[in-house]
Amino acid sequence: MTNKLNLNNLTKSEEDYLKAIFQLLIEDASVKVGNNQLADYLKVSPASTNNMIKKLKAKGYVVSEKYGKLELTEEGKSVAVRLIRKHRLWETFLCNYLNFTWDEVHDVAEQLEHIKSRKLIDELDRFMDFPKKDPHGEVIPNANGEYSIIPKITLSSLSEGDVCQLIAVNDGSVHFLKYVSEIGLALSSEIKILEVREFDKSIRIKFDNTIETVTRKFADNVFVNKVV
């Protein structure tokens, strides 16, 4: 097995880059991820990402050809999944034990995910009795990095008459998450698409006897499971 045991000697920055590449790759499994796209996502300059990519390639976490698109090695994916596990476990802890609301947890979890201690995160997992999902509905990978990929589509991809169930939301924006709660939507809400307006792609939806119009941008951040 010659386990490389690569003792987690990665900087916070290196970890953040690997996580970002991983997330861009699953969000759009078909489309390739390039240097500038990564720069956009991380809100740094293309020169910065170019530089970091070189380092991550040298360390064996990333594969790419010059002027080509980015791929992660198994080692690279493993680092990313462990970060996501930590991020989601901490978010769950903050929500379920420390009175944080779902819009408050992300920024603190961004810090906590970089704490280096295998025992800490596995014990936190045990303490919470191995939760399966984080406060935003995302699946939490287990201690071996395994996790089920639940088929989910965005609310914006549905058509008039479709009925779906809200199973997850994008956790990156405080404003978005507050907005979701304010209009009364929550995980498991059943949503019916009343109308998709061609003009601006805004969508008229019904849930729990509430009727609301949401923008395309809003619907892009809501993940659902189609029911009808």
Partner DNA sequence: TAAAAAAGTTAGTTATGACTAACAAATTAA
Partner DNA sequence: TTAATTTGTTAGTCATAACTAACTTTTTTA
- Residue 110 in the binding site for Mn ion (CB under 5 A): yes
- The residues facing 207 across adjacent strands are 210
Neighbours of 37 (CB within 10 A): 19
How far apart are the two ends of the chain, measured CA to CA in Å?
48
- 26 in Cβ contact with 4 (< 8 Å): no
CB of 89 to its own copies, least distance (A): 12
Nearer to its own copies, 10 or 205 (CB): 10
Run of H or E including 116: none
Which partner in Mn ion, DNA, its own copies, none is near 153 (CB below 5 to 8 A by kind)?
A: none
* Close Cβ partners of 117 (under 8 Å, ≥ 6 residues apart): none
Using CB under 8 A, list all residues that contact its own copies: 94, 97-100, 104, 107-108, 111-112, 115-117, 119-120, 123-124, 127
Residue type, 19: K
- Residue 136 in the binding site for Mn ion (CB under 5 A): yes
Q: Which of 11, 101, 188, 213 binds DNA (CB under 7 A)?
A: 11
- 38 in Cβ contact with 21 (< 8 Å): yes
Nearer to DNA, 40 or 208 (CB): 40
Binders of DNA among 39-78, rule CB under 7 A? 43-48, 50-55, 64, 66-69
Q: Where are the beta strands (DSSP E) in 54-189?
A: 62-63, 71-72, 153-154, 163-169
Binders of DNA among 68-127, rule CB under 7 A? 68-69
Give 117-125 contacts, CB < 8 A, sequence gap 24+: 121/85, 121/86, 121/89, 124/89, 124/90, 124/93, 125/89
- Residue 104 in the binding site for Mn ion (CB under 5 A): no
Nearer to Mn ion, 163 or 179 (CB): 179
CB of 24 to DNA, least distance (A): 11
Residues of this chain that bind DNA (CB under 7 A): 11-14, 16, 34-37, 43-48, 50-55, 64, 66-69
